[in-house]
Amino acid sequence: MKIAVCIKRVPDMESRFKIAASGTAIDETGLKYDISDFDAYAVEVALQINEKAGAGETTVICLGPDAVQETIRKALSMGAEKGVQLRADAVPADSLAIARALAAELKDGGYELILFGKHALDTMTGGAGTMAAELLGLPCLTAASRLEVTGARATARRELEGAAELLEFPLPAVVTIDEGIARPRYPSLKGIMAAKKKPLDVKPAQLGSVRVSVEKMELPAERPPGRIVGTGPDAVPELVRLLQTEAKVL
Amino acid sequence: MDDALYFSEQHLAVREMVREFARDEVAPVAARLDADAKFPWANVKRMGELGLLGVPWPEELGGAGLDLVSYMIVIEELAKVDASHGLTVSAHTTLGTSPIVHFGSDEQKRRFVPFLASGRVMGGFGLTEPDAGSDAGGTRTTAVRRGDRYVLNGSKRFITHGSVGEIFVVTAVTAPGQGTSGISSFILTKPTGDPDGAKAVGIGHEPSLPAMRGFRAGKKEDKLGWRASDTAELIMEDVEVPAENRLGEEGRGFKNFMRTLDAGRIGIGALSLGIAEGAFDEALKYTAVRKQFGQPIARFQGVHFQLSDMATEIEAGRHLVFHAAWLAQNGKPFGREAAMAKLFCSELAMRTTIKSLQLHGGYGYTKDYPIERMMRDAKICEIGEGTSEIQRIVIARSLLKDLLD
């Protein structure tokens, strides 16, 4: 089937972040970037659906500056057939603007299934997928931990606190993907070679008016150093008191 | 290093993939495999699927069709995390497969290379003998022509994949008394010595390869390092080898394996470099968090000196390895540079792991940290595929060639 996967390029979350001089963004110097984890799961899900069907086409779409082409190539080296870059100087903080640009690209693509990660690892807004679904007038299901397609319908599982629900819906639809659904494959050397020759279209991102912007970004306060209350059984009453009154965890 | 000097975008994509694979699949099991001296069948299968067991071979032979620089990147990245995995790739590809690719007939290539390049079975190279190591001319294994076959007798020592492997290129004397011009090489096959391990992952054994009677693995070595890599003796007792399995012409065995070893040296250079880089990364991480006298030890100038020296030498080693690979890739003479890369980087691996362990203090001496394993893994790099002393002889010969001949 024709599947679109919308992916985002995000910094390695284990980096040591600094705030840029502007005060509204992180300093990108020296950061390593990769496809956002949930988006990589979504790519894997799309590849598996089409492999199981024995036919199909997966297109990955990524919004951002030219650096995102590397991220698109990675998805192509995993096995996606086509890539589209929606070129923008930066990814705006306005999820609706992002959704608008994506919806404009998705609208006439004839996709039967549109996948997103449930949220991007860096901003964690999780808005673009649901908003794009609304703009496209498609059913939307968030945080799927399992997804199966049968003909023109699909079923998905969502994990709830202490329970799970199974949902059924018609295609085309927008589904955002949770972790645990599939382990993203490593690109094989053949895949890396093949990715070079796969089509990667570059188009301007039709963001429309961007109404939300970051005013200020700050790092979390440093954690105060730990305290040793005492040693041995004598220290227990004081420890319990502090856990109750100060840490408020008991 | 300025990445653009040797590396294209595709090289970087290969590096990224192998780095992720090494971090997620190799690092978590490396200590266990080392302790148990277990061949990493599950990861070997994965590496085969990713194309890592036939990186430089043409696609029509089942390889990935990449260049030598990509291949060195693969070895380096694996060795950063676990030298045994790096060696498995290097010995399988350069020693086990390259002689068939380079010196085999079309029929031999078609028959054997796809099994090796895809990782269907493991391959190895039988050169070293009880009385022939650095002096390869001292080969005692004999091959006597009898009609359309040769009968081989002898034994080979320290053969990587000797036990687990199925396809081997071995050298044997076909014309006694003619020194190195009397040595030829042959392709021998046997069933894997670890059928259970192979069966568990569904690779490692190919029933269509003949089980040559009298050809078997002997003792498996219990080693200081490279413990997850398989090293065993190969024994040949009246092994009948069809003449069609002779690799190249009679008497070409010595010349051919010298070429194989030249290329192999860059691989061991890359492997050694990887060990040094891995040890350096550990030193960097550890000294930044280890506190003594109220501050991280990385704040002390004495530690700065150590870290700077390690990083500088590693940078030099990278240039040697990738320059040698680049020369070989571009069809230029590379023997001297390959020997220099192997010599420098193997000694670099030893120095760097010792320094890194010292910076770890008592913790480094325990199995709670990977540095003691890295130090054990480093030592053999100064010995295997030509000792440091042999490298110096190779380099000196190339320097003095015109002056002393």
Check CB contact under 8 Å for A74 and B20.
Answer: no
- Cβ proximity of A250 and A243 under 8 Å: yes
pLDDT at B135: 81
In chain A, which residue ranges form alpha helices assigned H by DSSP? Answer: 37-53, 68-78, 95-106, 128-136, 189-195, 236-245
Q: Of B44, B53, B185, B182, give the one whose Cα is nearest residue B126.
A: B185
Mean pLDDT across A63-88: 97
DSSP structure class, residue A222 = P
Q: Is the confidence at residue B179, as pLDDT, over 70?
A: yes
Check CB contact under 8 Å for B10 and A196.
Answer: yes
Across the strands, what pairs with A61?
A6, A84
pLDDT at B47: 98
Residues of B with a Cβ under 8 Å from any A Cβ are: 9-10, 13-14, 16-17, 20-21, 49-52, 55, 59, 64-66, 70
Check CB contact under 8 Å for A192 and B10.
Answer: yes
DSSP structure class, residue B55 = T
Q: Is the confidence at residue B65, as pLDDT, over 70?
A: yes
In chain A, the domains with their CATH numbers are 2-204 (3.40.50.620)
Q: Which pairing describes strands B291-292 and B295-296: parallel, antiparallel, or unpaired?
A: antiparallel
- B311 min Cα distance to partner chain A (Å): 18
Which residues contact residue A19 at a Cβ distance below 8 angstroms, ignoring those fewer than 6 apart? A25, A26, A27, A217, A218, A219
What residues of B are labeled active site? 385
A193-217 tens-digit pLDDT: 999 999 999 999 999 999 999 999 9
Q: How far apart are CA B54 and CA B56, in angstroms?
A: 6
- Cβ proximity of B171 and B183 under 8 Å: yes
Half-sphere exposure of A236 (CA within 13 A, CB side): 3
Residue in A192, A197, A200 to test binding to B, most B beta-carbons within 10 Å: A192
Which residues contact residue A73 at a Cβ distance below 8 angstroms, ignoring those fewer than 6 apart? A83, A195, A196, A200, B9, B13
Longest dimension (CA), chain B: 79
pLDDT at B3: 67
Which residues contact residue A211 at a Cβ distance below 8 angstroms, ignoring those fewer than 6 apart? A94, A96, A97
Tell me which chain A residue has its CA closest to the CA of residue B15: A189
Three-state DSSP state, B38: coil
Two tokens, residue A29: 């110097």
Chain B residue numbers touching A77 (CB-CB < 8 A): 13, 17
Check CB contact under 8 Å for B66 and A193.
Answer: yes
Three-state DSSP state, A90: coil
Check CB contact under 8 Å for A189 and B66.
Answer: yes
Question: What band does A226 get if pLDDT is binned at 50, 70 and 90?
Answer: confident
Chain B residue numbers touching A187 (CB-CB < 8 A): 13, 17
Chain A residue numbers touching B66 (CB-CB < 8 A): 189, 193
Chain A residue numbers touching B26 (CB-CB < 8 A): none
A98-141 tens-digit pLDDT: 999 999 999 999 999 999 999 999 999 999 999 999 999 999 99
Three-state DSSP state, A35: strand
In chain B, the domains with their CATH numbers are 3-117 (1.10.540.10), 123-250 (2.40.110.10), 255-404 (1.20.140.10)
Chain A residue numbers touching B51 (CB-CB < 8 A): 188-190
Two tokens, residue A216: 């200020």
- A131 min Cα distance to partner chain B (Å): 33
Check CB contact under 8 Å for A192 and B52.
Answer: no
Across the strands, what pairs with B90?
none
CA distances from B125 to A71, A134, A150, B64, B95 (A): 40, 63, 52, 21, 5
Residues of A with a Cβ under 8 Å from any B Cβ are: 70, 73-74, 77, 186-190, 192-193, 195-196
- B18 min Cα distance to partner chain A (Å): 8
Question: What band does B405 get if pLDDT is binned at 50, 70 and 90?
Answer: low
Gyration radius from chain A CA atoms: 22
Residue in A70, A189, A200 to test binding to B, most B beta-carbons within 10 Å: A189
Check CB contact under 8 Å for B13 and A192.
Answer: yes
Mean pLDDT across B367-396: 95
C-alpha distance across the termini of chain B, in Å: 38
pTM metric for this prediction: 0.90
Chain A residue numbers touching B13 (CB-CB < 8 A): 73-74, 77, 187, 192, 195
Residue in B7, B12, B15, B17 to test binding to A, most A beta-carbons within 10 Å: B17
pLDDT at A97: 97
Check CB contact under 8 Å for B14 and A186.
Answer: no
Q: Of B307, B384, B381, give the one whose Cα is nearest residue B348.
A: B381
Q: Is the confidence at residue B2, as pLDDT, over 60?
A: no
- Cβ proximity of A69 and A14 under 8 Å: no
Q: What residue ranges in B117-175 does DSSP mark as E strands?
A: 123-126, 142-146, 149-160, 167-173
pLDDT at B404: 78
Nearest to A186 among B9, B20, B66 (CB): B20
Interface contacts A/B by beta carbons within 8 Å = 39
Check if the interface score ipTM surpasses 0.90: no
Q: Of B149, B154, B98, B159, give the one whose Cα is nearest residue B126.
A: B159
A153-202 tens-digit pLDDT: 999 999 999 999 999 999 999 999 999 889 999 999 999 999 999 999 99
Across the strands, what pairs with B184?
B172
Chain A residue numbers touching B14 (CB-CB < 8 A): 189, 192
Mean pLDDT across A38-44: 98
Q: How far apart are CA B155 and CA B238, in angstroms?
A: 11
Chain A residue numbers touching B291 (CB-CB < 8 A): none
Q: Which of A109-118, B3-12, B106-115, B310-319 bottoms out in mean pLDDT, i.e. has the lowest?
A: B3-12
Helices B335-364, B253-289: inter-axial angle, 10-degree rounding: 30
Average pLDDT, chain B: 95
CA distances from A206 to A106, A135, B350 (A): 12, 14, 57
Check CB contact under 8 Å for B10 and A190.
Answer: no
- A192 min Cα distance to partner chain B (Å): 7
Q: Is the confidence at residue B85, as pLDDT, over 90?
A: yes
DSSP structure class, residue A183 = P
Across the strands, what pairs with A148?
A155
